[in-house]
Homo-oligomer: A and B are copies of this chain.
Amino acid sequence: MTYADLSEAELQSLKERVGQSYAEAKARNLSLNMARGKPGADQLDLSMPMLSLLASPADCIAEDGTDCRNYGVLEGLPEARRLMADLLDDEPENVIVGGNASLTMMFDTVSWFWAFGSLGSKPWREYDSVKWICLVPGYDRHFAITEHFGFEMIPVALGVDGPDMDEVERIAASDERVKGIWCVPKYSNPSGVTYSDEVVRRLASMKCAADDFRIMWDNAYAVHHLFDDAAEQDQLLDIGAACRKAGNPDRYVKFGSTSKVTLPGAGIGAMAASPANVADFKAHLTISSISGDKMNQLRHVKFLHDGAGIAAHMRKHAAILRPKFELVDRKLAEGLNDVGECSWSSPRGGYFVSFDAPHGCAKRIVQLAKEAGVTMTGAGATWPHGNDPHDSNIRIAPSLPPVEELEEALDVFVCCVKLAYLEKLLG
Contact = CB atoms under 8 A, between A and B. Distances in A.
A36 B71 CA distance: 9
Nearest to A268: B293
Interface string A272-305: 0000000000001001111111111000000000
A241 interface: no
A73 to B, nearest CB: 8
Nearest to A266: B295
B44 A67 contact: yes
Interface string A31-58: 0000010110100110110011011110
Nearest to A400: B70
Contact of A56 (B47, B48, B264, B265): B48
A108 B284 CA distance: 12
A69 interface: yes
A100 to B, nearest CB: 5
Count this chain's copies in the assembly: 2
A295 B55 contact: no
A28 interface: no
Contact of A148 (B104, B144, B287, B295): B287
Nearest to A105: B288
Interface string A249-279: 0000000000100011110000000000000
A70 B43 CA distance: 10
B41 A57 contact: yes
B44 A69 contact: yes
B145 A263 contact: no
A69 to B, nearest CB: 4
Interface string A317-357: 00000000000000000000000000000000000000000
Interface in A167-208: none
Contacts of A288: 103-104, 107-108, 111, 145
A99 interface: yes
A48 to B, nearest CB: 7
B38 A71 contact: yes
Contacts of A48: 55-57
A402 interface: no
A254 B295 CA distance: 26
A56 B266 CA distance: 15
Interface string A360-400: 00000000000000000000000000000000000000000
A338 B256 CA distance: 60
A295 B290 CA distance: 20
A45 B57 contact: yes
A299 to B, nearest CB: 9
B104 A289 contact: yes
B100 A287 contact: no
B57 A265 contact: no
A101 interface: yes
A101 B52 contact: no
Interface string A214-243: 000000000000000000000000000000
Query: 4 shortest A-B CB distances, which residue pairs?
Result: A107-B288, A266-B295, A44-B69, A71-B264
16 contacts: A38-B71, A48-B55, A68-B266, A69-B265, A69-B266, A71-B265, A100-B292, A101-B289, A103-B288, A104-B288, A104-B290, A107-B289, A114-B115, A144-B287, A263-B295, A266-B295
